[in-house]
Amino acid sequence: MIRSAVFAAALAVAAPVMAADLGVKKPAPVAPVSAACKETKGLPADAFGFASGSDVADLGAWGVGFDNTYAAGGRGGKSFGYVGTLQASGSFLPCLEVGPYVYYGLSGFKPYGGLGRTGTLLGGGVEMKYKLLGRATHGVGLTLAMSPNFGAYNGFSIYGGHNTVFNNSYRLLADAELVKGKLYGAFNLELFQSAYTNTLPGFRNLSQFNVRGALAYAATDALYVGAEASYQVAKTGMWMDGLFRGNAVYVGPTFFWQINDKFTLNGTWAYQIAGNDKAGPGHKLGTGVFPLHQARLKLAYAF
């Protein structure tokens, strides 16, 4: 059941590198540090669901976040995945946000009429985000992000037994104010890489490329609501240069709530509306690689 195992492994691998944005409320800067980092209105990076805005932490601002991502629904059986990520993030250089994190994952698959298997994943990494353009100066915010991390599987992994994995993500994050003070849009390009050990030749590496678009509406000063859509494709090889594994299209609602000056809560649910994989032609929901449902709930605290 290789395709089902790949599905469960992809959940645990992709979640940490997607969930490393802190997204806490930014304090007003004492003085501008650069045109790229100076914004007339801070926009939470987590206001767009799985997509991310371009804002980075102000110089000297720090916080922590606990991010939970969930997935369920696959072809041929019952699949599930969960990853919890704990991160501290902040800035000690202008325009640069650094966030070390640790994560724990649990995934499993039970084929119809068969025996279920589960496994765990434990690891850690660091996310680095550098802001290139600011909305206040250029009309569009633009940030580059990279997030290398290491992890180890125990039990159910791509081929069973024990595996170690090195992951990395490269993301280009853009956002803009579409209606002054009310409506914002974000656009992300994302490349995820996963390099495994102790796996069969030809399936040692996996990669995934995502295109995301999202809208966030400021219903109040403390509440953003919106929607997100994404196209995701997975292949073998570290640079999308191998065999096709599957693709999927997701849509879903998002929210971001500034509870008070310290705490924020945000979440999203994405539902697969189209998909395909190596099992056969045609559009299929809940593919062997991508789950039918993806969800996220995150609590963050600003110091």
Per residue, what are the HEC states of 123-144?
Answer: EEEEEEEEEEECHHHHCEEEEE
State yes or no: pLDDT of 198 exceeds 70: no
Question: Rounded distance, CA 188 to CA 266, Å?
Answer: 18
Question: Rounded distance, CA 149 to CA 123, Å?
Answer: 7
Tokens of 189: 């390009």
State yes or no: pLDDT of 76 exceeds 70: no
The model carries a pTM of: 0.85
State yes or no: pLDDT of 238 exceeds 80: yes
State yes or no: pLDDT of 278 exceeds 70: no
pLDDT tens-place string over residues 158-191: 445 567 888 999 999 999 999 988 999 999 999 9
Question: Rounded distance, CA 197 to CA 194, Å?
Answer: 10
Among residues 86, 186, 97, 102, which one has the least CA distance to residue 146?
97
User: What's the pLDDT score for residue 36?
Assistant: 65
Q: How many domains does the chain have?
A: 1
pLDDT tens-place string over residues 81-136: 899 999 999 999 999 999 999 999 888 877 777 777 777 889 999 999 999 998 98
Give the three-state DSSP class for 96: strand
CATH number at residue 55: 2.40.128.130
By residue range, what is the domain housing residue 147? 2-302
Spell out the residues 6+ positions from residue 272 whose beta carbon is closer than 8 angstroms to its own.
73, 248, 249, 250, 285, 286, 287, 290, 291, 292, 293, 294
pLDDT tens-place string over residues 26-48: 443 433 445 567 777 778 889 99
**Which phi and psi angles does 33 have, rounded to 5°?**
-105, -25
User: What's the pLDDT score for residue 155?
Assistant: 63
User: What's the pLDDT score for residue 24?
Assistant: 44
Tokens of 100: 């070390």
